[in-house]
Structure 1
Amino acid sequence: MSRKKDQAGTFELLARLPQQIVSLAKIEYENAKREVIAKAKNAGIGAGAIVIALFFLFFMLEALVIAAIAALALVWPWWLAALVVAAGLLLLAAAAILAGVALIKRGNPVPEETLDRVGGDIAAMSEVRVNADSSEPRAPQMPRVGEEGNWR
């Protein structure tokens, strides 16, 4: 039984296995790191939107204070203008809060795609069979004296 030169034998494949597993682990680590960075960036943008909303809320409170002062002084155009500004700032703050919360919810830092790929890799490694060329499973056989074995 002869083996083609481009096909590796069992021992050669087994010798490559640790290096391939380490290489796969490094690649998956880099993918997980990239995925976490992207999700953390989205969460940071969402947090920034909430900070902007708080900034608008601060000015809304300021406008309400000015409106209360103007209303007490019974100067109609001043307090009405202040209430309109406060309402506009409240709408801006609500929009920024909704956008920020949506971005933070979407920015889950768990690297789900990488975990799915690793799970697929583990499932693929668990399906390794001896003599995969045959259609029915057989017990592994040792090569006879003088024969080369291919344990794939």
Structure 2
Amino acid sequence: MSRKSDQAGTFELLARLPQQIVHLAKIEFQNAKREIAVKAKRGGIGAIAIVVALFFVFFALEAFVIAAIAGLAVVWPVWLSALVVAAGLILLAAAAILGGVLLIKRGIPVPGETMSRVEGDINALGEVRVNSDHHGPIVPEQKMPQTGQEGNWR
């Protein structure tokens, strides 16, 4: 049986392998950079949300101080209104902190998808078998094809 003219031979395929591995590594590196950039952006938005929450907490503390002063100095309506405003600011701060923490947790810059693809590539390369003397004797079913024969070179 003869090989088709458009198919590459074993040695040609083996010669291409280092270039293809380098090309694959470059592509995976670009994917990792892109994935980290997206997750870092999400983390930055989460950090901004926490800064906004701290801004609200600052004014809530100020309102609590005003409420305490007003409660001591004036009768019921002034300090009650200050406490309501402070409680509203605390609720806003809690919502902003919760949103910021969730965004930061979701956006930790670890390229998980790329790492799993690279792990799969490494596992695939590990499955390549080479016939050699140190792997044990060649049994009749594993003989290498002769010139002009088709066969599996694993």
Normalising by the smaller structure, the TM-score range is 0.7 to 0.9
Q: Structure 1 CA distance, aligned partners of 2:141 and 2:111?
A: 37
Identity percentage of aligned residues: 70
Alignment correspondent of 2:143: 139
Count of residue correspondences: 145
Stretches of structure 2 that go unaligned for 5 or more consecutive residues are 131-139
Alignment correspondent of 2:133: none
Contact map agreement 1:28 1:118 (CA 8 A) in 2:
yes
C-alpha RMSD over aligned residues: 2.3
* 3-state SS of paired residue (1:27): helix
Alignment correspondent of 1:57: 57
Stretches of structure 1 that go unaligned for 5 or more consecutive residues are 131-135
Alignment correspondent of 1:34: 34
Alignment correspondent of 2:84: 84
Q: Structure 1 CA distance, aligned partners of 2:15 and 2:97?
A: 56
Alignment correspondent of 2:21: 21
Alignment correspondent of 1:123: 123
* 3-state SS of paired residue (1:99): helix
Q: Structure 2 CA distance, aligned partners of 1:77 and 1:88?
A: 17
Contact map agreement 1:10 1:150 (CA 8 A) in 2:
no
Q: Residue by residue, what CA displacement relative to the aligned partner does 1:81-129 show, whole Å, maximum 9, x if unpaired?
A: 1110000000011111111111111222221111110111112222235
Alignment correspondent of 2:134: none
TM-score in terms of structure 1 length: 0.84
Alignment correspondent of 1:11: 11
Aligned-pair CA distance for 1:2: 1.9
